[in-house]
Structure 1
Amino acid sequence: MMNALFPDVVVNGETIPPAAIAAEAQNHPGPRDKPGIAWRKAAQALTIRALLLQEAARRGLQAEVHELAPGRFETEDEATIRTLLEEAVEPPEVTEAQIHAEWARDPDRFRSAPLWDVSHILCACDPRDETASAAARARAEALLARLDGDAKGFAATAARESECGSKSAGGALGQLGPGDTVPEFEAALRGLDAETVTPDPVQSRHGWHIIRLNAVAPGAVLPYQTVAPKIAQALEKAAWTAASRAFIAELADQSDIQGATLDPI
C-alpha cells in the first residue's frame, strides 16, 4: 500500500515489499530524526538488486554458490548477481602509465610503518562501570595537571601512580607500530608530536591513559617498485566499481522504476 512518505517501489512491474525495505533499512544508518533517509537508501539498494536479478534471469544465467569462508556461503541471489557482474562488467585494463602516474602524484603517501617510542600512565577501570570510569578519569585529570611535561617527571609519576605493569619501567612501553595497541590509544599517538603528552586523558577498554610520545621514527618513503602492485590493485578495484555503476545505470535507463531513485542520497 502506498503512502506519501514511503511510496511503493516497483521495478519493471515487480513490487518490492515494504517489509523487505524496512528490514534492509537497518543496514543503512541515517539521522534519527530523518528515518526517510534510511528508507530511501534501502529502497535504492533493493531496486539495484531487483534490476540485477531481473537481468540475470533475462540472460538465463545459472550461478554456482561459492563458500566465502569456512562454513559461510553466498546466498543464491548473491551468487547470481556475482555471476552476472562477472559476465557483464568489463572494466578497462589498468596500464603501467596509470600506475606510475598515481604514484608520482604524491610518492610521500607510500611509506613504511612508523615507530613510536611511548610511555603512559594508566588509571585502570572498567569503562562499562560509569561510576568507576568517572573516578578514574578524575584521577587521570588530576595527575595530568601535576605533570611537569619532561620525561623524567613523567617517568617518576608513572612509577608511583600508574596501574599498568609498565610502571616498573617508568611507564615505558617501548617501540610500538600500527596495530600494536588498541585503536583509541593509536589514534591519540598519531595526533601527538614527539616529546609531548596528550592534553586530555584517553579512554580505552583498559581505563584512562595519559600518553607521552617520547620519539617517533616516521616510515620511509617506499620505492615505486615496492608499491606498484598495491596501486595497481586499488586502481583495478576503482575501475571495476565505476564499470559496475555504469552497467547498473544502463539497466536503470532501460527500466520502469517507480517509488525509488538511483540518484545519490
Structure 2
Amino acid sequence: MGIAVNGVDITDAEIGAELAHHGAAANPLQQAVHEVVLRRVLLDEADRLGIVAGDSTDDERIETLFACEVQVPEVDEPACRRYYDAHRAAFTRGERVEARHILFQVTPAAPLELLRETATLILDALRQSPERFGELARRYSNCPSGAVEGSLGQLGRGDCVPEFEAVLFRLAPGELAGRLVETRFGLHIVQVLRRLDGTLLPFDAVHGHVADTLRRQAWQRALHQYLRLLAGRAKIEGVELEGASSPLVQ
C-alpha cells in the first residue's frame, strides 16, 4: 500500500526531492517520508482555514498557519529566574578543574568487554589504594598523559567531550569517579585533584539570553503539540508518524 494523506497519494518524486535534505539523519528515507507527510498535513490545514496560495509559497503559507494557530505563552521574569537558578553552572565563567585519568582504548585486539573487566579491576584497586593512580596510569593508560601519571592539566567547560565533562565537573577535589566513564575514546577512570571556582554572571546580564531560551523551548513544545493534533485528525495511510521527529518541530 502506498502513502496517502487525506486521500491524496504521496508520490515517489516528492519523497525523492525531500530525501536530499536529510543525508545526515539516522534514517534519511524515514525522515524524508515523515517530512513530506507532515508538510501535506499542514498545507491541507492551511486550505481548510482559507490560507490560500496567491503569491505565497508553501513555506510562507505554513508560516502564516503557525502564526495564526500556534499559541505560545509569554515568558515572565519569575520563569526566567527559576531557569537561571536551576542552570547556574551554564552561567558561570572561568570554572576549571585539574584532573587526571586512565584511558582504556577500544581496539580490535582489546574488545570492549575485556577492557571493561580490566578497567573495573583497576578502579577497584584505586578505591583501596588511591595513591597508586600515577603508577597504574603509567602502566595501563592508552593516552599520552599516562607518561605524566595521567595528568590532563587544567580543564574548563567545553575542553573535553560532553560525557567526560559531565562527570568531571561533578567531582569534588580529590574525588575518584565511582564508575567508569565511557566516551568515544574508550573507558576512563577519572579523578579531580583541584577545583578553581568560576564567577557566576549576574541575572541581569543574562536575562535576555534566558528569555530567548525559554521562548524557544515554549515554541518547540507548542509546535510539537500542534503537529501531533493535526496528524491525529488527518487520515494518514501507509506510514506511522508516532514518535517521529521533524525539522518542523526542532
* 8 Å Cα contact 1:116/1:176 also seen in 2: yes
**Residue 19 to residue 145, structure 1, CA distance change in 2 (3 Å):** farther
**Residue 171 to residue 20, structure 1, CA distance change in 2 (3 Å):** same
**Residue 186 to residue 151, structure 1, CA distance change in 2 (3 Å):** same
**Residue 259 to residue 103, structure 1, CA distance change in 2 (3 Å):** same
**Residue 20 to residue 120, structure 1, CA distance change in 2 (3 Å):** same
1:257 equivalenced with 2:238 (yes/no): no
Separation in structure 2 between the aligned mates of residue 146 and residue 194 of structure 1, nearest angstrom? 20
Q: Which amino acid aligns with 1:118?
A: A
- Stretches of structure 1 that go unaligned for 5 or more consecutive residues are 3-7, 30-38, 64-79
Map Cα deviations across residues 141-197 of structure 1 (whole Å, 9 max, x no partner): 343233256764323433454343323433221221222123342243255444222
Separation in structure 1 between the aligned mates of residue 117 and residue 239 of structure 2, nearest angstrom? 51
- Structure 1 moving runs of 4+ over 6 Å: 18-21, 26-29, 41-44, 91-94, 249-253, 260-264
TM-score (norm 1): 0.61
1:48 equivalenced with 2:29 (yes/no): no
1:141 equivalenced with 2:120 (yes/no): yes
- Match 1:16 to one of 3, 10, 16: 10
1:118 equivalenced with 2:108 (yes/no): no
Please name the residue that 1:60 is paired with: 54
Separation in structure 1 between the aligned mates of residue 229 and residue 101 of structure 2, nearest angstrom? 56
**Residue 20 to residue 131, structure 1, CA distance change in 2 (3 Å):** farther
1:105 equivalenced with 2:105 (yes/no): no
* 8 Å Cα contact 2:97/2:154 also seen in 1: yes
| Percent of pairs with identical residues | 27
1:197 equivalenced with 2:176 (yes/no): yes
TM-score (norm 2): 0.64
* 8 Å Cα contact 1:118/1:213 also seen in 2: yes
- Please, what is the CA RMSD of the aligned residues? 4.5
